[in-house]
Amino acid sequence: MIGFSERRQQSTRPQLPAWIDRYTTLGLYGLLVGTGLCLVAFLTNPVPDPSFSWATLPESLRLPIAQPRIEHWPVTYTIGIWLWVFCFPALFLAGYRRYGDRSRRAAVWLVGLPTLAMLGWTTYCRFFWLKLHPPTWNAPAYTFVCWLYCSTYDVLWSDLAYLIAFVGVVATVQAVRRGQRAVYALIGFGLLALPLGLPAAYQGYRRTV
């Protein structure tokens, strides 16, 4: 028999559309698989990611084989990082599914935290990431516009990424205040920041139906 508190928790917990709910669940598993694939590269290659040359295992702990590389990164490391890129939004959707039972919490999980992540990643890639040369199409990035920067090092795309993140800030404020124009900011940020912006795009769509 289900207790009253458990029934109440189930009734107030947000319900995602079937395909988003499935993506959220599979995305969480994808993050685990991606992490495992990245760790495999440490067992086979002395320096899996040249941007972090210090991140390596002693030779005695590595397997006596070396993976081929796709551009700068070993195969499993590349697959693992790209799994993280496309599955990362599932973290925010999972947080919303578990805790976003109020409008302000929904705004934080679906818009605020993705915006904060975009600001953090954009700043890191612009000013702190040890860039590899030559630039490569295989450079992982959490939004399409960030990928344009990471694959070319053209600061125009980084500036545009900051502008899109600013739209995310506006969308977050509008969503928290339940502003009438929130839906436009949410959908705009969500689409411009794909795939990271998927939760915000969903929140904007949800407000139109």
195 forms beta bridges with 143
> Alpha-carbon distance 208 to 183, whole Å?
7
Assess whether pLDDT exceeds 60 at residue 100: yes
> Alpha-carbon distance 114 to 198, whole Å?
9
Question: pLDDT, tens digit, for every residue of 39-87?
Answer: 999 999 999 999 999 999 999 999 999 999 999 999 999 999 999 999 9
In contact, 165 and 121? CB cutoff 8 Å: no
Question: pLDDT, tens digit, for every residue of 126-162?
Answer: 999 999 999 999 999 999 999 999 999 999 999 999 9
* Average pLDDT for 192-200: 98
In contact, 175 and 111? CB cutoff 8 Å: yes
- For residue 37, give every residue at least 6 positions away whose Cβ sits within 8 Å of its Cβ, in sequence order, or none: 76, 77, 79, 80, 83
Alpha-carbon separation of residue 91 from 7, 134, 154, 168 (angstroms): 25, 32, 29, 17
- For residue 150, give every residue at least 6 positions away whose Cβ sits within 8 Å of its Cβ, in sequence order, or none: 125, 129, 135, 139, 140, 141
- For residue 104, give every residue at least 6 positions away whose Cβ sits within 8 Å of its Cβ, in sequence order, or none: 176
Which residue, among 135, 133, 185, has the nearest Cα to 163 in the 3D structure? Answer: 185
> Alpha-carbon distance 44 to 57, whole Å?
9
